[in-house]
């Protein structure tokens, strides 16, 4: 019996040892199964954290590089016309903090890059005595460049991305669009936070100054000069609409954006709000309504649908200003005469009323048949329905014979010989 018990105990000993060994192995396996996934998860979280931090640090580094740029480090644009007008990225194509000694400011198709110091010298430290214009987008100064040429220096009021986009847009457009009827861009400055545009100097200022500025000492523009201005502006819009691919819509065509040279020939300026037709759908662009009250086409003002015919409407308003001497909106006038288009439309087609609406300064300077034709063009341009408005090409062709006949047919056009007019095709 003792022998059997001893044998039984001896036989159980290996089993207990094996069982004990099994209990020793199980916890280690369990630990591995638990620890390994946790380790992998921790590694993945660490990688994710590092990636997020790197992305956050990248904009900060960009800002640091901008802020640490030299005092007069220029931003040099690499023009991409379509991209600049369609992309919201306002930093693309711009090299910040350029050291001019290592990277001389280039000329991009004749467009020169200026430093802020250059323009301080040119404008006598932006003296108020050199201010020649002031508008919603900035102040314009008269300046003398280092080569001795006179220029108009436009300092833009920057308001976030919109101001930056408007600046880039003017540089991009005017460096690629060349027409004798558009203002010539001589250069630009993107020195740190300063944004300036340098244009050819137009000694006779804006059309608005001649038509609407009280106590203007200059003689009123005569009939012939006004017709030539109308033709120059029509050719400018014709160029933008018909002779560029894709077409360009100015979107802010008005008297204050029409400049006059020494011979009172007109050039169109201010392309900060311009749109190109690359994103057109059936000839229309849906966009945020921007522009100037009194010049906005009805369909654009109410729905945001923008087409080249929107510019045609604005042109019609300017033509009415040339014809009547009135501003687009004047709340000081009697009831029913506040809005120029509403007041003028019924009179444009009535011969008895037509002569009475003409600017008194033009009396005796035109033939009635010429007046009727100008009135008809204006009436078509300001039609409520965009489809009824003419193309700018049609307007140009209608004005050409009137302007050609000026020297021989205008009753008293030569009586104001102080306003010289040079021929321009």
Catalytic residue among 172, 191, 232, 252: 252
DSSP E strand stretches across 131-182: 131-135, 138-144, 150-156
Contact at 8 Å (CB) between 382 and 231? no
Q: Cβ of 277: how many Cβ atoms within 10 Å?
A: 18
Q: What is the DSSP letter of 341?
A: H
DSSP 365-419: SS-HHHHHHHHHHHHHHT-SSGGGSPPHHHHHHHHHHHHHTHHHH-SSGGG-TTS
List of residues 6+ apart from 65 with CB closer than 8 A: 96, 97
Is 154 one of the annotated binding-site residues?
A: yes
Q: Cis omega (within 30 of 0) on the bond before 246?
A: yes
**Spatial separation of the C-alpha atoms in residues 401 and 379, rounded to whole Å:** 19
Q: Cβ of 150: how many Cβ atoms within 10 Å?
A: 12
List of residues 6+ apart from 174 with CB closer than 8 A: 111, 182, 183, 184, 185, 271
Active site residue 252: yes
Secondary structure of residue 101 in the 3-state scheme:
coil
> Residue 358 region, left (φ>0) first, then alpha (ψ -120 to 50), else beta?
beta
DSSP bridge partners of 152: 142, 199
Binding-site residue positions: 154
* Residues with a known catalytic role: 252
Binding-site residue positions for ATP: 154
């Amino acid at each position: 019996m003792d022998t059997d018990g001893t044998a039984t105990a001896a036989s159980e000993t290996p089993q207990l040892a094996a069982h004990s060994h099994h209990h020793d192995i199980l916890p280690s396996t369990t630990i591995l199964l638990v620890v390994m996934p946790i380790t992998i998860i921790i590694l993945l979280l660490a990688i994710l954290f590092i990636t997020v931090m790197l992305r956050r640090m990248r904009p900060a580094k960009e800002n640091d590089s901008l802020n640490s740029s030299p005092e007069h480090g220029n931003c040099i644009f690499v023009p991409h016309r379509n991209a600049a007008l369609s992309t919201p990225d306002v930093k693309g194509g711009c090299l910040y903090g350029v050291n001019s000694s290592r990277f001389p400011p280039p000329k991009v198709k004749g467009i020169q890059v200026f430093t802020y110091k250059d323009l301080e010298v040119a404008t006598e430290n932006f003296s108020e005595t050199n201010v020649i214009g002031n508008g919603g987008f900035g102040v314009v100064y008269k300046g003398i460049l280092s080569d001795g040429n006179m220029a108009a220096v436009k300092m833009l009021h920057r308001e976030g991305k919109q101001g930056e986009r408007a600046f880039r847009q003017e540089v991009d457009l005017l460096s690629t669009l060349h027409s004798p009827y558009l203002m010539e861009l001589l250069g630009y400055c993107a020195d740190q936070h300063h944004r300036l545009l340098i244009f050819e100097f137009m000694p006779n200022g804006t059309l608005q100054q001649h038509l609407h500025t009280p106590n203007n000492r200059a003689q009123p523009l005569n009939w012939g000069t006004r017709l030539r201005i109308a033709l120059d502006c029509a050719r400018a819009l014709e160029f933008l609409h018909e002779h560029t691919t894709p077409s360009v819509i100015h979107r802010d065509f008005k008297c204050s954006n029409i400049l006059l040279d020494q011979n009172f020939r007109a050039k169109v300026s201010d392309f900060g709000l311009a749109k190109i037709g690359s994103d057109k759908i059936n000839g229309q662009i849906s966009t945020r309504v921007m522009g100037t009250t009194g010049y906005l086409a009805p369909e654009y003002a109410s729905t945001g649908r923008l087409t080249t015919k929107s510019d045609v409407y604005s042109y019609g308003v300017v033509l009415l200003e040339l014809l009547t001497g009135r501003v687009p909106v004047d709340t000081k006038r009697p009831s029913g005469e506040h809005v120029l288009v509403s007041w003028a439309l019924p009179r444009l087609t009535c011969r008895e009323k037509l002569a009475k609406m003409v600017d008194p300064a033009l009396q005796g300077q035109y033939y009635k048949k010429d007046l009727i034709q100008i009135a008809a063009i204006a009436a078509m341009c300001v039609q409520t329905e965009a489809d009824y408005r003419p193309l700018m090409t049609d307007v140009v062709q209608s004005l050409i014979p009137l302007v050609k006949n000026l020297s021989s047919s205008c009753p008293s056009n030569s009586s104001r010989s102080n306003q010289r007019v040079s021929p321009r095709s």
